[in-house]
Structure formats: structure tokens, C-alpha cells
Amino acid sequence: MIQTILTTVTIIFVLYRQLSEQAVKHKTKYYIIIILIGLFSALIQYHQINWNTILVIAIIIGDITFPALLGWLRAKYTRIWVNNDQLVTRKGNFMTIILWLIYIFIHGLISYFIKDNENFMLFSIGISLLVQREVIWIDSQKKYPEQIKNNESIQKKKK
């Protein structure tokens, strides 16, 4: 139950942020924390999980590969530009919503048909967000190599 609540809150918060105009940042700490919390919550239930080949394949494909692919796609559909303050900025769009709905639907199907896979949803969200953040950062560096330095300097000041 706690896994479902954490996952729902995370997705709502992330979707709100992804649809808002935001300066591009290269902060991966929060996504690594989400991944670790997801792993920890799954490991707490380690002995209650019915480990089998199908579950391991579902984790590899449904919780690592597929979320990483959707994170990459969301990044590629994200609009990136330089705002009036000369900061590289990003904002998701309708495709962001569609790709999140696809993720939720497919992961729900996998969890429905493969018992115990739902324990890894928060982990897979973290993977997807980490890939998205990295791809947006790399694309921003390539597209706006000079302006991204403004983002870097602001990010360093806030540490």
C-alpha cells in the first residue's frame, strides 16, 4: 500500500513539474534516491516475493528497459530553448502525458499478470526519470553549449 501511495504522489508531482517551464538542471541525486527507495521497499518484501524466471524477465524488461526507453522518448519530445534570462529551459507537452499514460498502463498490465512485479514500480519510475534527466542535459549541452554554462553556474551557487 505504501508503495502505491509513494508511486502515485511521485507521478503526480513529476508530471506537474514536467509540464511546467523549468531551467534545465543536472541534478540526479533525487532520482537516485527514488531508485534506492524503490529497491529498498522491494527488498523489504524479498522473502514474500515469489522469485521465478518470469518475474526476473519482467523486472529487466518492464522495470529497467521499458522505463528507460520511455524516459528517453519523453526527453526527445521535451521542448528545449533559451529563455530571456539566457538560461536553457525545458517544458514537456501533450506527448509527456501520453508517454506517462503508456508507462502506467503497460506497467499495470505487467503487474496484473506477473505477481510481485508491482513491488518494483517506484524503482522503475526512478530509472525512467534518471534517463530523461540525463538525455535532456546532454541534448541541452549539444544544442546550447554556451548558454548551458549559465545553468551550471546557477546550479553551483545553489549548492
User: Which pLDDT tens digits describe the chain residue by residue (159 residues)?
Assistant: 676 777 788 889 989 999 999 999 998 999 999 999 988 988 887 777 777 788 888 888 888 999 999 999 999 999 999 999 999 999 999 999 999 999 989 988 888 877 776 778 889 999 999 999 999 999 999 999 999 999 999 888 876
The count of other CB atoms within 10 Å of the CB of residue 100 is 19
pLDDT at res. 119:
73
pLDDT at res. 98:
95
44, part of any domain: yes
Domain total in the chain: 1
153, part of any domain: no
pLDDT at res. 117:
67
37, part of any domain: yes
148, part of any domain: no
pLDDT at res. 112:
80
pLDDT at res. 90:
97
What is the DSSP code string of 23-83?
A: E-----HHHHHHHHHHHHHHHHTGGGS---HHHHHHIIIIIIIHHHHHHHHHHHHSEEEE-
12, part of any domain: yes
Q: Is 75 exposed, middle or buried (0-12, 13-18, 19+ CB in 10 A)?
A: buried
39, part of any domain: yes
**Residue 117 structural domain:** 2-19+27-81+90-132
144, part of any domain: no
40, part of any domain: yes
